[in-house]
Amino acid sequence: MGKCHALAWRTVTAVFGGAHPQLEVLCDTPGDRAQAQAQAAQFGFARATDDWRSAVLDPAVDVVSITVPNGLHRPMAEAALKAGKHVWLEKPMALTLADAEAMAEMAGRHPGQVTILGYNYTRSPAFQAAVALVKDGVIGTPRAFRGVYDEDYSADPAQPWHWRMTHEGGGLGALGDLGCHLFSQMVQLMGDVAEVTALTQIAIADRPAPDGKRVVENEDSALALIRFASGAQGSFATSRVAHGRKCRLQWEVHGSDGTIIFDQENMNELWVHRAGEAGFTRHLTGPDQPDFGAFCPAPGHNFGFNDQKVVEARDLCRAIAGGAPCRPDFAEGLRIERVIHAMAASQGRPVSLPGRSACQSARQPEGDRA
Ligand SMILES: NC(=O)c1ccc[n+]([C@@H]2O[C@H](COP(=O)([O-])OP(=O)(O)OC[C@H]3O[C@@H](n4cnc5c(N)ncnc54)[C@H](O)[C@@H]3O)[C@@H](O)[C@H]2O)c1
């Protein structure tokens, strides 16, 4: 993800215009300065360090990109805020809900500094088009959401133990790594979550490590039923052990007048059905959809994963320049954390989420209750 941020920083002005970010200092693992220097040379950073605190405190640095294991998110983000920097932080926000609350509280005390979380999938043209279709009422009132985000990066039991599998390194498991992305899209389509009932599973109890086997501490998969504040219903599933699934961030919204289907593995298309039509119509991304045209004037020539991050960088740069606030910032990110942690804690019992659970929806259903 560090490379993804570096590419975005290098590309954002070429794609969208505006001031050129200066790439001041790149930091990598403590004790491996040579690695940091090699990466800095590759990506065009002026300097390299293996000491993240010095990078964060560097007076030449205005914005800090944080793309490290989740256990470092809170200390790095808080140090950056304290040092007066803007913060671009990868998801999930933190290891625990208490950490996320503390970070959101601290960001609230630094209102002049921009925070943004790396929910890049919300930036693809197809997703932005889907939000607009829902907002414009093309499928009527959203009644139901069916969503999954499955990958297979841990499906092989021989896959070695990894920081993602611990409370101290990863925090939540599949919910924090993948489910939060699905949630970031779901909430923009469906609105706030009022209640969740979820089950989690550790499918592979331990993993090979150089010093023997190590225990897997967090969930490999999760399943949830959702009641939205609007009265709509949802199902939500995520897994990091789903053989064959690479980036199956896939959902459909069933509305009173139609259905929209999206699948990130085919991220340049949306399938839309309106009541009365014989089947689904394929909508291919093109320059008439948000942000596509800044990359390419030709429809169907496809937008990519790294391009999403360039759009995210554009949103961050605009907010720093005094434009529209970034979404999701730490306050909005906390609302995402509340729901995924509620899912992790549910163990089959309904958990209520009082008040706004997350960012504003595209369309708040009125009247029509599923
Ligand atoms: N938005 C997305 O689509 C997306 C995708 C993948 C990962 N991520 C997030 O990005 C973050 C990193 O994930 P990854 O897959 O790149 O992990 P990774 O393990 O591949 O890379 C982590 C990097 O952090 C460096 N690092 C570790 N400790 C450090 C320290 N003390 N100081 C400086 N550098 C240190 C490591 O050397 C490594 O280069 C995670 O929070 C993850 O959830 C987001």
Amino acid 140: pLDDT: 98
Count other C-beta atoms under 10 Å from residue 160's C-beta.
Answer: 12
DSSP β-ladder status, 258-263 and 206-209:
unpaired
Q: Residue 209 — pLDDT band, cuts 50, 70, 90?
A: very high
Mean pLDDT, residues 47-62 taken together: 98
CATH architecture for residues 122-297+329-352: 2-Layer Sandwich (3.30)
DSSP β-ladder status, 221-228 and 193-201:
antiparallel
Mutate to test the pocket of ligand 1, among 90, 127, 310 (most ligand atoms within 8 A of CB): 90
94 Cβ below 6 A of ligand 1 = no
Atom of ligand 1 nearest to the CA of 119: 1
Percent of the chain with pLDDT over 90: 95
Mean pLDDT, residues 339-352 taken together: 98
- Determine the Cα–Cα distance for residues 75 and 80; give it in Å rounded to an integer: 9
Mean pLDDT, residues 141-148 taken together: 98
28 Cβ below 6 A of ligand 1 = yes
Compute the mean pLDDT over every residue in the chain, rounded to the nearest whole number. Answer: 95
- Enter the pTM of the model: 0.95
Amino acid 364: pLDDT: 37
Domain 2-120 has CATH 3.40.1160.10: no
pLDDT exceeds cutoff 80 at 121: yes
Ligand 1 centroid vs 131 CA: distance in angstroms?
29
Q: Is the dihedral of CA 55, 57, 59, 64 positive or negative?
A: positive
2-120 and 122-297+329-352 in the same fold: no
Q: What are phi and psi of 132, to 5 degrees?
A: -65, -40
Could you state, in order of their start, the residue ranges of all structural domains in the chain?
A: 2-120, 122-297+329-352
pLDDT exceeds cutoff 70 at 224: yes
118 Cβ below 6 A of ligand 1 = yes
Q: Residue 363 — pLDDT band, cuts 50, 70, 90?
A: very low
149 Cβ below 6 A of ligand 1 = no
Mutate to test the pocket of ligand 1, among 26, 68, 74 (most ligand atoms within 8 A of CB): 68
Mutate to test the pocket of ligand 1, among 1, 4, 89, 122 (most ligand atoms within 8 A of CB): 1
Amino acid 356: pLDDT: 55
Amino acid 354: pLDDT: 80
Q: List pLDDT tens digits, range 243-302.
A: 999 999 999 999 999 999 999 999 999 999 999 999 999 999 999 999 999 999 999 999
2 Cβ below 6 A of ligand 1 = yes
Ligand 1 centroid vs 28 CA: distance in angstroms?
10
